[in-house]
Amino acid sequence: MEALKQRIRDEAVVLKGNLIKVDRFLNHQLDVGLINQMGEAFKQHFFSTKVDKILTIEASGIAIAAITAQYFDVPVVFAKKAGSRVQVDSVYSTIIHSYTKNSDATVVVSKPFLNPGERILIIDDFLAEGQAVKGLLDLVNQADATCVGVGIAIEKGFQHGGKELRSMGIDLFSLAIIAEITSDGIRFD
């Protein structure tokens, strides 16, 4: 998706450890018009896929998932970091390692919101080693639901998550795949 790639070229900040900060438009300040175009691009790719529900993870997946869901006319469920005392339902639970935060987090989905047989589209902002998506897949599997696809805004193609998910036969669609980050800038696949 060219508009997203251009925005990354223009405004992403590259930090040590190949971390890419896109918080001017994607995960702190949100360019809602750009995110709307992203939702449309996900719909174009998954137009023939029957989707019952979109699953994402708090916090930075929520805006993309919610706006994308308008194109699919389905509910969103976002996996929550464990800890709220309002939680009373029993939950599906998994542990996700965040390289960005350098920590493990337990994330949960209340059982009523993922059901056997449901066709789940996973949406998230970043894919690198694939920890978050694999955690979400684990939740989908625990519920005996089916993952019908994974839509990612920015995939770091030089890390292993994308290859691993595609080798599992998952329909993984990333709007921008970064091939390489050099001192000259960001190169896309």
Residues that bind a copy of itself (CB under 8 A): 13, 15, 19, 21, 23-25, 28-33, 35-36, 58-59, 62-63, 65-67, 69-70, 73-78, 80, 83-86, 88, 100-102, 109-110, 112-113
Helix (H) or strand (E) holding 97: strand 91-98
Phi (first) and psi of residue 85, to 5 degrees: -85, 0
Nearest distance, CB of residue 2 and a copy of itself, angstroms: 21
Nearest distance, CB of residue 81 and a copy of itself, angstroms: 8
Nearest distance, CB of residue 125 and a copy of itself, angstroms: 12
Is the Cβ of residue 38 or residue 147 nearer to a copy of itself in the bound state?
Answer: 38
- Cα–Cα nearest to 159, from 139, 189, 123: 189
Is the Cβ of residue 20 or residue 150 nearer to a copy of itself in the bound state?
Answer: 20
Q: 144 with 117: CB under 8 angstroms?
A: yes
Place of tokens 């929520």: 62
Is the Cβ of residue 28 or residue 163 nearer to a copy of itself in the bound state?
Answer: 28
Q: Tell me the HSE value of 32 on the side-chain side, using a 13 A CA sphere.
A: 4
Nearest distance, CB of residue 76 and a copy of itself, angstroms: 4
Helix (H, G, I), strand (E, B) or coil at 8: helix
Nearest distance, CB of residue 181 and a copy of itself, angstroms: 15
Separation CA 108–CA 135 (nearest Å): 10
Is the Cβ of residue 170 or residue 186 nearer to a copy of itself in the bound state?
Answer: 186
Is the Cβ of residue 143 or residue 172 nearer to a copy of itself in the bound state?
Answer: 143
Helix (H) or strand (E) holding 149: strand 146-156
